[in-house]
Amino acid sequence: MIIAVVGSGVASDELCALAEEVGREVARQGAVLVTGGREGVMAAASRGAHDEGGITVGILPGTDARDANPWVEIPIATGMGQARNVVVVTSANAVIAVGGEYGTLSEIAHALKIGKPVIGLHTWELAKGFTQQDEGVVLATSPQEAVNLAVALAQE
Amino acid sequence: MIIAVVGSGVASDELCALAEEVGREVARQGAVLVTGGREGVMAAASRGAHDEGGITVGILPGTDARDANPWVEIPIATGMGQARNVVVVTSANAVIAVGGEYGTLSEIAHALKIGKPVIGLHTWELAKGFTQQDEGVVLATSPQEAVNLAVALAQE
Amino acid sequence: MIIAVVGSGVASDELCALAEEVGREVARQGAVLVTGGREGVMAAASRGAHDEGGITVGILPGTDARDANPWVEIPIATGMGQARNVVVVTSANAVIAVGGEYGTLSEIAHALKIGKPVIGLHTWELAKGFTQQDEGVVLATSPQEAVNLAVALAQE
Amino acid sequence: MIIAVVGSGVASDELCALAEEVGREVARQGAVLVTGGREGVMAAASRGAHDEGGITVGILPGTDARDANPWVEIPIATGMGQARNVVVVTSANAVIAVGGEYGTLSEIAHALKIGKPVIGLHTWELAKGFTQQDEGVVLATSPQEAVNLAVALAQE
């Protein structure tokens, strides 16, 4: 199973602590962690998963694998800029959004568009009722709950 | 100048009427219209611009130019699926969102991420104050106002 | 009909003269010209088509439309780096290669892979008999012959 | 270190045997194997690496991870069609081409374009002297020699 953690490249200590714990829990549950491979939430989640012995993949916007944070074991340099956001969520069985700015919002939107479960921790709350496509972002209140939801929804 | 109109491939008559008028106004102001090239809002905007003698470009997700709606003069078949959404907004000087579901939300988010002006007509209202990056979607109340705002913000 | 002209961003005067004449002929035959939008062969072909009153599209690797050469009427900034080569050939009904280095070779290969006709002027001669997929690059001896072949093969 | 093995999705038993041994050797040298994730040469190389306990990544053209061959441990579903070929070679430190038709040729060309070492086993022999960019495909005569060359050139 592959779980993507998406979030901003510049994030508060609080969000990074949440993301690191999400990464730890992803690894504990035996899933591969995919992120965008850069700093902030992406680095924190990768560090957490790596410290628990999990496999960490970073899907990078640029052409140089050395742009990955130090906890990415498998850097995938796409050279495709923001289009790499599409790859991050398409490759995942479920997506967990931690905080996030517009880049993260694009990943949430792409994931919902293609029917991937999206779990949110302190992230965008999309207006209920705006769309009939599905139920949108599922909100979690803790890293553990977020990963449990992601794993459960990915298996449906 | 290139103006992108983004919106759902399945849209109400009301939204399509708005989109068609937006397309007309884009052509009247001498701008090139870029859309995702398919049905719904994309087709309506293309029809409007085409009827006014404007140039219409459709950036398609698939590999077959014949998937374009009949009012697309220049179909660009990308074969890149949802990643074509990134191309639609990157190629534009400003983006007008008409209604829209998750695919449209992804285009709004990508556009704001890379600093393109986004004008909204009956579209997602992103929560104010969530981000300090910029002012987000600029709301318009008519097709003409939307295009005027797009042209003005594109020239800044 | 859309004809792509592919070739190196750094090219000799001789190759540029050929490419310019190819661009002129594409426009004379009423086809839209698509190129990668940059210098060398791409600029020469765009200049030729533009001078004949044709429509010129440039599919750019970067995010900034101002990277296009001055004869590109419709710049499509993809932000996808080399992956834009795939878009150039996928969007065309036929491809004409003028000279070319490795980037051009990638476009020839992508075009042949998806079954687009490829006409060559002073370009890669792929070893005959290596593949049974099809007949590979069709060699032309003049710009006019190249465009005639492209138009004829695109209509098959 | 990441080594990409590229080759056709339909391949002879002889080529598959070579590819499988290349995959084994990549794993023995401790490198991560990246392929396009599908059948033929890609499957054979993945099987070899997997059987030796190596990590296998498959960069898929479609949106469904289940399209990967059974020996891909980490499927990356891009949904980008042929543009995934660019990701395969951009993410690698060196590329080994085994046989191959036009898709493989596109990967060789993209790799040489961005300066990645390319080692060939029974693959395209690009005409010497056509380009001054570099020395092109380095030919190997055995799987072990191919991997040794890839590792050595990747470290330069």
- What are the backbone angles phi and psi of residue A77, rounded to the nearest 5°? -85, 115
The pLDDT assigned to A131 comes to 44
* Chain D 34-73, residues with CB within 8 Å of chain B CB atoms: 63
Arithmetic mean of pLDDT, B52-76: 98
Is the Cβ pair C86, B76 closer than 8 Å?
Answer: no
Torsions phi, psi of D2, nearest 5? -115, 125
Query: Are C40 and C16 a contacting pair, CB within 8 Å?
Result: yes
What are the residues whose beta carbons fall under 8 Å from the beta carbon of B148, sequence distance 6 or more? none
Q: Backbone phi, then psi, for C91, in 5-degree steps?
A: -80, -10
For residue B97, the surrounding DSSP H or E stretch is strand B94-98
Taking one residue from A and the other from B, the number of pairs with CB-CB distance under 8 angstroms is 73
- pLDDT profile of chain D (156 residues), mean per 10: 96 96 98 98 98 98 98 98 98 95 94 95 63 71 97 93
Distances in whole angstroms, Cα of residue A51 to Cα of each of A18, C35, C100, D4: 15, 48, 48, 27
Interchain pair D86, A77: CB under 8 A: no
Task: Write out residues 130-149 of C within 8 Å (CB-CB) of D.
Answer: 130-131, 133
Pick from D98, D104, D107: which is nearest to D140 by CA? D98
pLDDT confidence of residue D98: 96
Q: Is D12 on the interface with B (CB under 8 A)?
A: no
Look at B79 and D79 and tell me if their CB atoms are within 8 Å: no
So what's the pLDDT on residue A113? Answer: 94
Render pLDDT for A24-44 as a digit per residue (tens, 0 to 9). 999 999 999 999 999 999 999
Cα gap D3→D110, rounded to integer Å: 15
pTM over 0.90: yes
In sequence order, which residues have a C-beta less than 8 Å from that of residue B117 and are 6 or more positions away?
A: B93, B94, B95, B111, B138, B149, B150, B153, B154, B156
- What is chain A's alpha carbon radius of gyration, rounded to the nearest angstrom? 14
D82 touches chain C (CB under 8 A): yes
CA–CA separation, D34 vs D3, rounded Å?
6
Contact C26, C5 (CB under 8 A): yes
Q: Residue C109 and residue D127: Cβ atoms within 8 Å?
A: no
| pLDDT tens profile A114-155 | 999 999 998 776 644 344 445 689 999 999 999 999 999 999
Give CA–CA dist B20/C103, Å, rounded. Answer: 40
Confidence band, pLDDT 50/70/90 cuts, at residue B81: very high
Render pLDDT for B88-142 as a digit per residue (tens, 0 to 9). Answer: 999 999 999 998 889 999 999 999 999 999 999 987 766 443 444 456 899 999 9
The reply to whether residue A81 touches residue C80, judged by beta carbons under 8 angstroms, is: yes
Chain B residues whose CB is inside 8 A of the A82 CB are 86, 90, 110, 113-114
What's the confidence (pLDDT) of residue A105? Answer: 93
What confidence tens digit (pLDDT) does each residue in D130-147 have? 444 456 899 999 999 999
**Residue A87 — very low, low, confident or very high, per pLDDT cuts 50/70/90?**
very high
What's residue D125's pLDDT?
A: 65
List the one residue out of D78, C144, C77 whose CA is nearest residue C152: C144
pLDDT of B131 reads 43
| D80 contact B CB<8A | yes
Question: Which residues in chain D have Cβ-Cβ distances shorter than 8 Å to A83?
Answer: 80
* Subunit partners of chain B (3 or more CB pairs within 8 A): A, C, D
Beta-carbon separation of A102 and B133 below 8 A: yes
pLDDT of C31-50, one tens digit each?
A: 999 999 999 999 999 999 99
Name subunits touching D (3+ CB pairs < 8 A): A, B, C
Shortest CA distance from B90: residue in chain A? A82
Residue, of C134 and C26, whose pLDDT is higher: C26
Name A10's bridge partners.
Answer: none
Average pLDDT over all residues of chain C: 93
What's the confidence (pLDDT) of residue B126?
64
D113 vs C82, C112, C113: nearest CB: C82
